[in-house]
């Protein structure tokens, strides 16, 4: 099993005829993802290497049965594209677009919450989601991921997600699903949504969580880890040395006053019983121990064989 | 982007938010001219993007031109917590009956806008929150609904503002909310929001942080950018469209992705060094980007060692390797580079670098190993 995406996920790519959309859409298809359609207003009837393009998401869904959308359009069109996908009835929208104004994000997040509660948004400004061997939506390089579990990954950072996948795959530890929730202030899907989904997924046996400075999502995740989770969590928080008041690349990564510091997040997670690593490599090493301790021969033997 | 107080007040004025009559000045003569227009008594305020300027002597009331000349001269050029005062805001002194507080920002946990109003303005709101949390009235605003008049009236009443200005205060909040939403701000804060002797409200200070991502629909922001950063490295990086934050250490850092860049800065500190900067080259780490990044880092005289940490996803490591070699031909570097490349095409990349490795260009297989080496180099050449 996996969370949010699997073999039954059928994808429509909004912006398939654009440079980014084409590159990643085709790459996702080459990985084995069922990329059934593209959408670009005014370009209906064309195709991109055999993938039919429609004018609207509703048409694409009607024609192909797509149940997920991959949004790869510029910031000014992204809010409309996300809402259009929700209105067309897809249950998952993955938006990789960077630099969407925060006011727009707050607005479409709340519109989705109120008018389309059954549609899940991942992102914006995220690397996407991959269930290795089954489905890859977004920009993650699929060949670094190892199918079969038992670890689920959730991360705010793209490159640190790749780093985490790589560290685990190098050790012979597979992944069920890796979700990049994105570095913006209003992510559609947060740590808590992913932790709950991993907790409910029988194949996920342990979780790696990669956070960073800013906001209080990690602290709230710690409360869930303490109260509602049975599966072990290894965490890493980036930005321990970040100076207050400076945005470290991501719109959401900023320490404001005494809030959002890495120290507070690390303390909360440790108190909740998570193992907290000081760097990505150490997080990988900690996960090796956690997977060994699961006592499941399938996983420990693949570690031992490395 | 943080605005200076004077820019914030000008921004407020566009949305009909009342502020004091005043003007900006970069010299004593200009300050005299503005004060002559707005009338004495006047207030001279240092324009710096840092709190606590009043305590530092950067805000003075003057009753005539002689006093103004003396104070403006003293404040211009003053160093307030590392910020040198280059501009003054001169406004007519207000008669103050009460000092309140009002702000809008995003509550990231609730994913709603948060309005805060307090009858205890004039001091840092964090301090009020600690000492007298009940004096701050909070209101969550769903962006789908916007700020409703009845909710604005309610929050004003809960905050305990003078009942005589209740409807004026609600109107003030509606305007401030418009400024926050339509003006694409991350934060609008009025502290103090004053009740004047004749019973009206206006913004005596203005703290506005604009959302850089919304710049595409605000061409007028271009003009606000002047004097945005006094750090020459950051100015240089901005010209080159690099995502850069200046720090104070000796190890220059180049990484791809904000998370990995942050993580690299942390790691350098963990192994006993200190980073000179945060620099995320993003997904387009080709030769031109590497040249630009190395130029900025090379211009930082504190830098004694450079650490390049790339994890190839979309970025192909072989392109990064070629980019670095090209950059080394184009930029005369003052200090050695330690490089770690992993991910897409890392094997090819190592092959490309193999023939060029020397004391000036060292490769390490892991992130941790590379950080150690780079910090060692920074220390050794100290």
Region A192-205: what's the mean pLDDT? Answer: 97
**Closest residue to A102, CB basis, from B126, B186, B263:** B186
Catalytic residues of A: 250
List of E strands, A119-222: 120-122, 128-131, 135-138, 150-155, 174-180, 206-212
pLDDT recorded at residue B228? 56
Least confident interval from A6-20, A114-128, B118-132, B147-161: B118-132
Q: To which residue do tokens 């004060």 refer?
A: B35
- Chain A nearest C-alpha distance from B262 (Å): 5
Q: How far apart are alpha carbons A109 and B259 in whole angstroms?
A: 24
Least confident interval from A87-96, A292-301, B64-73, B317-326: A292-301
In the predicted model, is pLDDT for residue B382 greater than 50?
no
pLDDT recorded at residue B265? 97
Please answer yes or no on whether B313 and A163 come within 8 Å at the CB atom.
no
Q: What is the pLDDT of residues B205-262, one digit of tens each?
A: 999 999 999 999 999 998 887 555 667 898 899 888 899 999 999 999 999 999 999 9
- B184 close contact with A: CB closer than 8 A: yes
pLDDT band at residue B23 using 50, 70 and 90 as cut-offs: very high
pLDDT recorded at residue B241? 86
For B135, which DSSP code? G
Contact (Cβ atoms closer than 8 angstroms) between residue B38 and residue B46: no
pLDDT recorded at residue A131? 98
Q: How far apart are alpha carbons A175 and B230 in whole angstroms?
A: 46
Catalytic site includes residue B189: yes
Q: How far apart are alpha carbons A20 and A24 in whole angstroms?
A: 6
Q: How far is CA B281 from the centre of its chain?
A: 20
Region A10-32: what's the mean pLDDT? Answer: 96
Q: To which residue do tokens 């009460």 refer?
A: B98
Average pLDDT of chain B is 92
Respond yes or no on whether the N-terminal peptide bond of residue A150 is cis (omega within 30° of 0). yes
In the predicted model, is pLDDT for residue A262 greater than 70?
yes
Nearest CA in chain A to B268: A241
CB contacts of A240 in chain B (<8 Å) are 266, 269
Average pLDDT of chain A is 94
Contact (Cβ atoms closer than 8 angstroms) between residue A156 and residue A252: yes
pLDDT band at residue B354 using 50, 70 and 90 as cut-offs: very high
Q: Give the architecture (CATH level 2) of B21-92.
A: 2-Layer Sandwich (3.30)
CB contacts of B270 in chain A (<8 Å) are 278-279
pLDDT recorded at residue A183? 92
Mutate to test the interface with A, among B262, B265, B278 (most CBs of A within 10 A): B262
pLDDT recorded at residue B381? 56
pLDDT recorded at residue B287? 80
Please answer yes or no on whether A141 and B367 come within 8 Å at the CB atom.
no
pLDDT recorded at residue A245? 82
The topology (CATH level 3) of B96-217 is D-amino Acid Aminotransferase; Chain A, domain 1 (3.30.470)
| Chain A contacts in chain B segment 132-151 (CB below 8 A) | 142-144
Mutate to test the interface with B, among A21, A75, A103 (most CBs of B within 10 A): A103
pLDDT recorded at residue B143? 98
Q: What percent of chain B has pLDDT over 90?
A: 74
- Chain A nearest C-alpha distance from B129 (Å): 13
Q: What is the pLDDT of residues B268-283, one digit of tens each?
A: 999 999 999 999 998 7
CB contacts of A186 in chain B (<8 Å) are 106, 108, 111
Nearest CA in chain B to A239: B262
Q: What is the pLDDT of residues A137-154, one digit of tens each?
A: 999 889 889 999 899 999
Q: What superfamily does domain B232-380 belong to in CATH?
A: Succinyl-CoA synthetase domains (3.40.50.261)
Please answer yes or no on whether A144 and B143 come within 8 Å at the CB atom.
no
Q: How far apart are alpha carbons A201 and A229 in whole angstroms?
A: 12
CB contacts of A238 in chain B (<8 Å) are 259, 262-263, 266
pLDDT band at residue B108 using 50, 70 and 90 as cut-offs: very high
Nearest CA in chain A to B242: A249
pLDDT recorded at residue A141? 87
Residue B332, classified by CB atoms within 10 Å of its CB into exposed (0-12), middle (13-18) or buried (19+), is exposed
Mutate to test the interface with A, among B178, B258, B315, B342 (most CBs of A within 10 A): B258
Please answer yes or no on whether B257 and A157 come within 8 Å at the CB atom.
yes
Specify the pairing of strand B207-210 against strand A135-138. Answer: unpaired
- B217 close contact with A: CB closer than 8 A: yes
- Rg (C-alpha) for chain B, rounded Å, is 26
pLDDT recorded at residue B226? 59
Nearest CA in chain A to B185: A103
- Chain A nearest C-alpha distance from B31 (Å): 31
pLDDT recorded at residue A302? 77
Helix (H, G, I), strand (E, B) or coil at A254: coil
Q: How far apart are alpha carbons A167 and B280 in whole angstroms?
A: 21
In the predicted model, is pLDDT for residue A157 greater than 60?
yes
Least confident interval from A58-67, A280-289, B172-181, B309-318: B309-318
Choosing from B6, B100, B101, B180, the catalytic residue is: B101
pLDDT recorded at residue A135? 98
Q: Where in chain B are the domains?
A: 21-92, 96-217, 232-380
Q: How far is CA A109 from the centre of its chain?
A: 16
Contact (Cβ atoms closer than 8 angstroms) between residue B338 and residue B307: yes
Task: Report residue B98 as tokens.
Answer: 């009460």
- B269 close contact with A: CB closer than 8 A: yes
In the predicted model, is pLDDT for residue A306 greater than 70?
no
- B369 close contact with A: CB closer than 8 A: no
Please answer yes or no on whether A163 and B260 come within 8 Å at the CB atom.
yes
Helix (H) or strand (E) holding B107: strand B96-107
Contact (Cβ atoms closer than 8 angstroms) between residue B18 and residue B203: yes
User: Which residues, listed in sequence order, are joined to residue B195 by a DSSP beta bridge?
Assistant: B98, B201
Task: Report residue A146 as tokens.
Answer: 């190892």
pTM for the whole structure: 0.93
**Closest residue to B368, CB basis, from A242, A251, A281:** A281
pLDDT recorded at residue A255? 82
Least confident interval from A155-159, A231-235, A286-290, A300-304: A300-304
**Closest residue to A110, CB basis, from B143, B216, B269:** B143
């Amino acid at each position: 099993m996996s969370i949010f995406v699997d073999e039954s996920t059928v994808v429509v790519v909004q912006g398939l005829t654009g440079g980014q959309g084409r590159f990643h859409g085709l790459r996702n298809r080459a990985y084995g993802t069922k990329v059934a359609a593209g959408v670009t207003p005014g370009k209906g009837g064309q195709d991109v290497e055999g993938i039919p393009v429609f004018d609207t998401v509703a048409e694409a869904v009607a024609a192909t049965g797509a149940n997920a959308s991959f949004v790869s359009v510029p910031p000014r069109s992204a809010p409309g594209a996300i809402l259009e996908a929700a209105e067309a009835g897809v249950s998952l929208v993955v938006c990789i677009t960077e630099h969407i104004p925060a006011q727009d994000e707050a607005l479409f997040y709340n519109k989705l919450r109120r008018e389309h509660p059954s549609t899940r948004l991942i992102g914006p400004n995220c690397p996407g989601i991959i269930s290795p061997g089954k489905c890859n939506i977004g920009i993650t390089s699929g060949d670094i991921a190892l199918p079969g579990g038992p670890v689920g990954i959730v991360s705010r950072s793209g490159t640190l997600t790749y780093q985490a996948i790589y560290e685990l795959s190098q050790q012979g530890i597979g992944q069920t699903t890796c979700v990049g929730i994105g570095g913006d202030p209003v992510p559609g899907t947060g740590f808590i949504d992913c932790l709950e989904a991993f907790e409910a997924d029988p194949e996920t046996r342990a979780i790696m969580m990669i956070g960073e400075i800013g906001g209080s999502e990690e602290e709230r995740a710690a409360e869930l880890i303490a109260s509602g989770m049975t599966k072990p969590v290894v965490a890493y928080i980036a930005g321990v040395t970040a100076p207050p008041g400076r945005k470290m690349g991501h719109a959401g990564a900023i320490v404001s006053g005494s809030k959002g510091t890495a120290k507070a997040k690390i303390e909360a997670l440790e108190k909740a019983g998570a193992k907290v690593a000081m760097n990505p490599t150490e997080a990988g090493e900690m996960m090796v121990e956690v997977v060994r301790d699961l006592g499941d021969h399938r996983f420990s033997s693949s570690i031992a064989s490395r | 982007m943080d605005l200076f107080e004077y820019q914030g007040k000008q921004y407020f004025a566009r949305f009909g938010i009342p502020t004091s009559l005043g003007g900006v000045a970069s010299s004593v003569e200009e300050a005299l001219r503005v004060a002559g227009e707005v009338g004495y008594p006047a207030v001279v305020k240092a324009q710096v993007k840092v709190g606590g300027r009043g305590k530092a002597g950067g805000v003075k009331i003057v009753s005539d031109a002689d006093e103004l000349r003396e104070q403006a001269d003293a404040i211009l050029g003053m160093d307030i917590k590392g910020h040198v005062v280059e501009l003054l805001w001169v406004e007519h002194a207000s008669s103050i009956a009460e000092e309140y507080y009002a702000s809008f920002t995003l509550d990231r946990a609730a994913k709603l806008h948060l309005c805060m109003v307090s009858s205890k303005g004039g001091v840092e709101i964090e301090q009020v929150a600690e000492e007298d949390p009940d004096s701050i009235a909070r209101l969550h605003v769903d962006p789908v609904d916007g700020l409703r008049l009845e909710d604005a009236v309610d929050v004003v009443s809960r905050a305990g503002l003078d009942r005589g200005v209740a409807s004026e205060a609600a109107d003030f909040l509606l305007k401030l909310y418009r400024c926050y939403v339509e003006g694409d701000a991350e934060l609008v804060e009025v502290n103090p929001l004053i009740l004047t002797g004749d019973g009206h409200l206006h913004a005596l200070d203005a703290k506005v942080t604009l959302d850089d991502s919304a710049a595409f629909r605000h061409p007028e922001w271009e003009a606000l950018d002047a004097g945005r950063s006094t750090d020459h490295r950051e100015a240089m990086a901005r010209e080159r469209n690099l995502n850069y934050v200046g720090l104070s250490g000796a190890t220059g850092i180049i990484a791809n992705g904000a998370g990995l860049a942050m993580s690299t800065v942390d790691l350098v500190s963990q192994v006993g060094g200190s980073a000179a900067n945060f620099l995320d080259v993003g997904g387009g780490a080709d030769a031109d980007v590497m040249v630009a990044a190395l130029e900025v880092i090379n211009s930082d005289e504190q830098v004694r060692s450079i650490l390049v940490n790339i994890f190839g996803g979309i970025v192909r490591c072989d392109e990064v390797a070629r980019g670095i070699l090209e950059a080394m031909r184009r930029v005369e570097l003052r200090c050695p580079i330690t490089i770690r490349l992993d991910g897409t095409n890392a094997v090819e990349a190592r092959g490309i670098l193999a023939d060029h490795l020397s004391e000036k260009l060292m490769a390490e297989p892991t992130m941790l190993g590379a950080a150690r080496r780079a910090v060692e180099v920074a220390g050794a050449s100290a």
